[in-house]
Amino acid sequence: MRPFFFLECEMRPLVKVIDVAALRHNVRVLRQQAGAAKLVAVVKADAYGHGVANVLPALTDVDGFAVASMDEALQLRQLGVGQPVLLLEGIFAADEAALCAQHDFVPCVHSPEQLAWLRGVDGISAWVKVDSGMHRLGFAAADAASWLPQVLSLQQVRWLGVASHFACADAEDLSDAQAQLARLDALALPAGWQRCLANSAALFALPEARGEVVRAGLALYGMSPFADGDAARLGLRPVLSLQTQVLAVRRLQAGDFAGYSHGFQAQVAGNLATIALGYGDGFPRAIVSGAVQLLLNGKRYPLVGRVAMDMALLWLGEDTAAVGDAVLVFGEGNPAERVAAQAATIPYTLTTMLTARVRAEVVDG
Ligand SMILES: *Cc1c(COP(=O)(O)O)cnc(C)c1O
């Protein structure tokens, strides 16, 4: 632990505060939502930017983890994870098959190439990835008669069942997701095969898609995948709060410009705060001046001008602020879903794109 004075004096004030109490709360909510299905925590991309090592201690009560690569899976084992680890895209090369057997990683198998890589390797459990309409990965649902015999010919693999992914489970109109589900229902599968289908959106919007295993990412971190962006409606609490501070405040006169390329021009006289937040931290640069609002001293102020690598500007109008005043970029009180909508992006990107230089501070409640 660094002493408090060191934090105050020496460190850039931008910090992602990870609330593990909120995370444990969300696990309970998702478990309830999942019913009898097993809950797999999706922790790819460094737990959506939250930091895998930060979140793991609060995820003891999940049935497994899902990641996107062998590196991410091995990191989980290094951190002491004992539960099964699902490889969402399966293995990327033949030599990863032996690693699956050795470390008890459970690959999705989406292609004939991946099937060939597993041939002859003992001790692997796997899911067959079915393309039910997303058209990204998987064996086509309509062609089961051609691929199922090939799959079953690998008798040494313990086939758990089918995995699939919804393209539009977050949509108001669920007919596309229901069509995907109908294609999966139409498959003639061996007895005892399980289903691993639902992401966060399907878990809430399409209970009939829960199957035996669900895979939740965004909701685990307390964010809503739906257009209303209201995680509280789902009973979830945001885990990550991105906090920073005011570095300087200056008075602009009407007509004054600020920032690179004079990206902001004051229409009237007022106060401008410079804050520690930039695209070097992973905050999006491609936002419209004035569109995104951040919380400072209990009030929302527009982010104006061009976001620079290390700094951004808040227009305070006739209000003022002191150097060192706390600014909530997003998190509890200024939901990431709302900031994402203002920034014309999705909450997934706001946390996932945070760069390594953003300090993490883990709090419990
Ligand atoms: C990332 C991912 C998930 C998790 O999705 P959320 O919307 O974050 O719950 C589930 N399944 C697959 C295949 C994924 O790639």
Q: What is the pLDDT of residue 192?
A: 96
Burial profile 248-281: b = 16 or more Cβ within 10 angstroms, e = fewer: ebeebeeeeebbeeeebebeeebbbbbbbbbbbb
Atom number in ligand 1 closest to CA 200: 9
8 A C-beta contact, residue 360 and residue 15: yes
Whole-model pTM: value is 0.95
AA identity, residue 280:
G
309 annotated ligand binder: yes
Around ligand 1, the residues with Cβ closer than 6 Å are 42, 44, 88, 165, 199-201, 215-219, 225
pLDDT one digit per residue (tens) for the chain, 365 residues = 444 554 555 689 999 999 999 999 999 999 999 999 999 999 999 999 999 999 999 999 999 999 999 999 999 999 999 999 999 999 999 999 999 999 999 999 999 999 999 999 999 999 999 999 999 999 999 999 999 999 999 999 999 999 999 999 999 999 999 999 999 999 999 999 999 999 999 999 999 999 999 999 999 999 999 999 999 999 999 999 999 999 999 999 999 999 999 999 999 999 999 999 999 999 999 999 999 999 999 999 999 999 999 999 999 999 999 999 999 999 999 999 999 999 999 999 999 999 999 999 999 98
Catalytic residue status for 16 = no
Catalytically annotated residue among 44, 129, 221, 348: 44
Q: What is the pLDDT of residue 84?
A: 96
What architecture is the 240-363 domain classified under in CATH? Beta Barrel (2.40)
67 bridge partner residues: 87
Q: Separation of 47 CA from ligand 1 center, angstroms?
A: 11
Which one of 27, 42, 128, 236 would you pick to mutate in the ligand 1 pocket, going by the greatest count of ligand atoms within 8 A of its CB?
42
Which one of 88, 136, 204 would you pick to mutate in the ligand 1 pocket, going by the greatest count of ligand atoms within 8 A of its CB?
88
Task: Sort 216 into a burial class: Cβ within 10 Å, 0-12 / 13-18 / 19+.
Answer: buried
Domain ranges of the chain: 20-223, 240-363
Catalytic residue status for 44 = yes
Q: What is the pLDDT of residue 365?
A: 85
311 annotated ligand binder: no
Q: What is the pLDDT of residue 10?
A: 62
| CATH class, 20-223 region | alpha beta
Q: What is the pLDDT of residue 49?
A: 98
Q: Separation of 173 CA from ligand 1 center, angstroms?
A: 20
Atom number in ligand 1 closest to CA 220: 9
- Measured CA to CA, the distance from residue 48 to residue 42 in angstroms comes to 9
Q: Is there a shared CATH topology between the 20-223 domain and the 240-363 domain?
A: no
- Measured CA to CA, the distance from residue 328 to residue 343 in angstroms comes to 15
